[in-house]
């Protein structure tokens, strides 16, 4: 893949978004430097070692490093000075009050102002509340030391972890929030080889599109989870409800799977940040609070169901299969599994944990939690257990030998937090089983 015009791009933040964008921009033929203030991460990347699991990413990074159109730097100053376009892809974590912590974004804007050695286009790729672009503009305008021109733009990212490379090259749309024709043309040039429709808007609108999209997806999940609770009470089957609802093209089948709720770095924080900024602007977005409440309630509900089946939890053994917040990634940020493991441990349950990809990260995140042991295979984890909880819908779990599991468990009881197993088969194999809403 080669673009007609190659741009010198600096991507700030070598995380799930920044590193993917940097590697993909280099595949498109641009000259890319990826900067991060985490020295270890930069060192790892220079040595071609990946800081997180993302299918296909390693090959792209290696390719870029070998062809020398992808480089990793610790120095933000150097990255900015050597580039024409700066993509800000740093974290925007939640503050205690739910608002987005924009200090990293603002820091990059300030450094860009102080290193404006030529025209620069500064593009927000991180998920930020509406009006952040304006703030970036102000910071650069108020801190630059010369009369050189710059533009600010917003290009929110919609990739899914685990499918990030595919999503970069085949997105449903590319949103460009711009305030000048020059900025629009540069961004269209950068993405010229990606076959996707551009949605060109002003910066505020582009920023809002991202918050609205994530909030809507989270709303779909909480909606179906609320329906699943009614299904459980009424004796109906949420799987069939979801399927039939999803077949209606006005609704669509995506994000209609009931379970223990959403997690990850995006939905929980983006819902809070969107509610916060809406309120600040004068609108109380109560629906989003309820989306969050329903989501948090799913974990509580799942735990209550386990207790209902097992009775006293003290000294029972539970195997937990799946820890990352979703399959295809080792990301443990806001993973529902963390809350479930913590709660079961507090009740005196001994826990045997297994995940195909996130064992390294899980050990760090769950450090200090009592009665927790990690196992190298799902079978080793379930041996001797009173209950096995499926918390992430990894494909490999669907292929497990149920007969073997039944033989090695103390009690054949499955708590399916993702409705991922074939209920009929599980019951036929002689297990006690519960899912969510089925």
Q: Which residues of 194-206 are buried (b: 16+ CB within 10 A; e: fewer)?
A: beeeeeebebbeb
Asked if 393 and 327 count as a contact pair (C-beta separation under 8 A), the reply is yes
Binding to ligand NAD by residue 90, rule CB under 6 A? yes
# residues contacting ligand NAD (CB under 6 A): 27
| CA 238/CA 424 separation, integer angstroms | 15
Q: Would you say how long the chain is, in residues?
A: 438
Q: Binding segment for ligand NAD among 62-70, 85-93, 188-196, 357-365 (CB under 6 A)?
A: 85-93
| CA 125/CA 422 separation, integer angstroms | 40
Among 26, 82, 92, 99, interactor with ligand NAD by CB under 6 A = 92
Report how far apart, in Å, the C-alpha atoms of 281 and of each of 40, 124, 211, 324 are.
40, 21, 15, 35
Q: Binding segment for ligand NAD among 103-111, 236-244, 335-343, 378-386 (CB under 6 A)?
A: 103-111
- Cβ closer to ligand NAD: 80 or 385? 80
Residue whose C-beta lies closest to ligand NAD: 15
Among 108, 178, 332, 415, interactor with ligand NAD by CB under 6 A = 108
Binding to ligand NAD by residue 412, rule CB under 6 A? no
Among 9, 10, 11, 13, interactor with ligand NAD by CB under 6 A = 13
- Tell me which residue has tokens 């996707």: 196
**Torsions phi, psi of 296, nearest 5?**
-65, -35
- Cβ closer to ligand NAD: 19 or 238? 19
Q: What's the gap between Cα 124 and its chain centre?
A: 18
Handedness of CA 351, 353, 359, 361 (dihedral sign): negative
Among 24, 70, 76, 335, interactor with ligand NAD by CB under 6 A = 76
Asked if 225 and 418 count as a contact pair (C-beta separation under 8 A), the reply is no
Among 8, 50, 84, 107, interactor with ligand NAD by CB under 6 A = 107
Binding to ligand NAD by residue 133, rule CB under 6 A? no
| CA 257/CA 392 separation, integer angstroms | 12
- Cβ closer to ligand NAD: 27 or 361? 361
- Cβ closer to ligand NAD: 108 or 414? 108
Asked if 319 and 413 count as a contact pair (C-beta separation under 8 A), the reply is no
Residues 262-321 that bind ligand NAD (CB under 6 A): 265-266
**Roughly what angle, to the nearest 10 degrees, separates helices 18-27 and 57-67?**
50
- Pattern of binders to ligand NAD over 15-34, x per CB under 6 A? xxxx----------------
Q: Is 266 a catalytic residue?
A: yes
Binding to ligand NAD by residue 159, rule CB under 6 A? yes
| CA 411/CA 407 separation, integer angstroms | 9
Among 70, 89, 152, 306, interactor with ligand NAD by CB under 6 A = 89
Provide DSSP, 148-175: --EEEEE------TTSHHHHHHS-S-EE
Query: Per the residue annotation, which of 10, 266, 387, 389 is the catalytic one?
Result: 266
Distance in Å, CB of 182 to ligand NAD, minimum:
25
Residue 273 token pair: 């940040």
Distance in Å, CB of 344 to ligand NAD, minimum:
27
| CA 189/CA 9 separation, integer angstroms | 12
Binding to ligand NAD by residue 99, rule CB under 6 A? no
Distance in Å, CB of 316 to ligand NAD, minimum:
35
Among 3, 37, 75, 296, interactor with ligand NAD by CB under 6 A = 37
Give me the active site residues, please.
Answer: 266
List residues near ligand NAD by CB under 6 A: 12-18, 35-38, 41, 76, 89-92, 104, 107-108, 126-127, 157, 159, 161, 265-266
């Amino acid at each position: 893949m080669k673009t007609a015009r190659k741009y010198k791009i600096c991507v700030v933040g070598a995380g799930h978004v920044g590193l993917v964008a940097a590697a993909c921009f280099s595949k498109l033929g641009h000259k890319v430097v990826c900067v991060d203030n985490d020295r270890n991460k930069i060192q790892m990347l220079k040595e071609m070692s990946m800081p997180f699991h993302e299918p296909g990413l390693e090959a792209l990074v290696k390719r870029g490093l070998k062809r020398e159109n992808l480089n990793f730097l610790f120095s933000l100053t150097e990255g900015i000075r050597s580039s024409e376009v700066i993509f800000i892809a740093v974290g925007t974590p939640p503050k205690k009050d739910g608002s987005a912590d924009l200090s990293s974004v603002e820091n990059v804007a300030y450094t860009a102002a102080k290193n404006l050695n030529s025209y620069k286009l500064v593009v927000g790729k991180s998920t930020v509340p509406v009006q952040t672009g304006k703030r970036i503009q102000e910071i650069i305008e108020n801190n630059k030391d010369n009369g050189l021109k710059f533009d600010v733009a917003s290009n929110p990212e919609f990739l899914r972890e685990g499918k990030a490379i595919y999503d970069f090259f085949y997105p449903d749309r590319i949103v460009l929030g711009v305030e000048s024709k020059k900025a629009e043309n540069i961004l269209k040039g950068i993405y010229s080889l990606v076959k996707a429709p551009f949605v060109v808007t002003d910066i505020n609108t582009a920023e809002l599109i991202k918050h609205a999209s994530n909030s809507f997806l989270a709303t779909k999940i909480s909606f179906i989870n609320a329906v699943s609770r009614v299904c459980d009470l009424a004796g109906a089957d949420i799987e069939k409800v979801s399927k039939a609802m999803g077949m209606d093209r006005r609704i669509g089948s995506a994000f209609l799977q009931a379970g223990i709720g959403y997690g990850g770095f995006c939905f929980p924080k983006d819902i809070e940040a969107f509610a916060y900024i809406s309120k600040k602007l004068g609108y109380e977005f109560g629906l989003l609070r309820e989306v969050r409440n329903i989501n948090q309630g799913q974990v509580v509900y799942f735990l209550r169901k386990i207790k209902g089946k097992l009775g006293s939890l003290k000294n029972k053994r539970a195997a937990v299969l799946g820890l990352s917040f979703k399959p295809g990634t080792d990301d443990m940020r806001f993973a529902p599994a963390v809350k479930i493991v913590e709660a079961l441990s507090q009740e005196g349950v001994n826990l045997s944990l297994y995940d195909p990809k996130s064992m390294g990260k899980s050990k760090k995140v769950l450090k200090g939690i009592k009665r927790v042991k990690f196992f190298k295979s799902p079978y080793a984890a379930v041996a001797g257990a009173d209950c096995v909880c499926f918390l992430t819908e990894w494909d490999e779990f669907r292929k497990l030998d149920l007969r073997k599991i039944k033989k090695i468990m103390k009690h054949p009881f499955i708590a399916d937090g993702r409705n991922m197993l074939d209920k009929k088969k599980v019951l036929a194999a002689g297990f006690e089983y519960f899912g969510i809403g089925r």
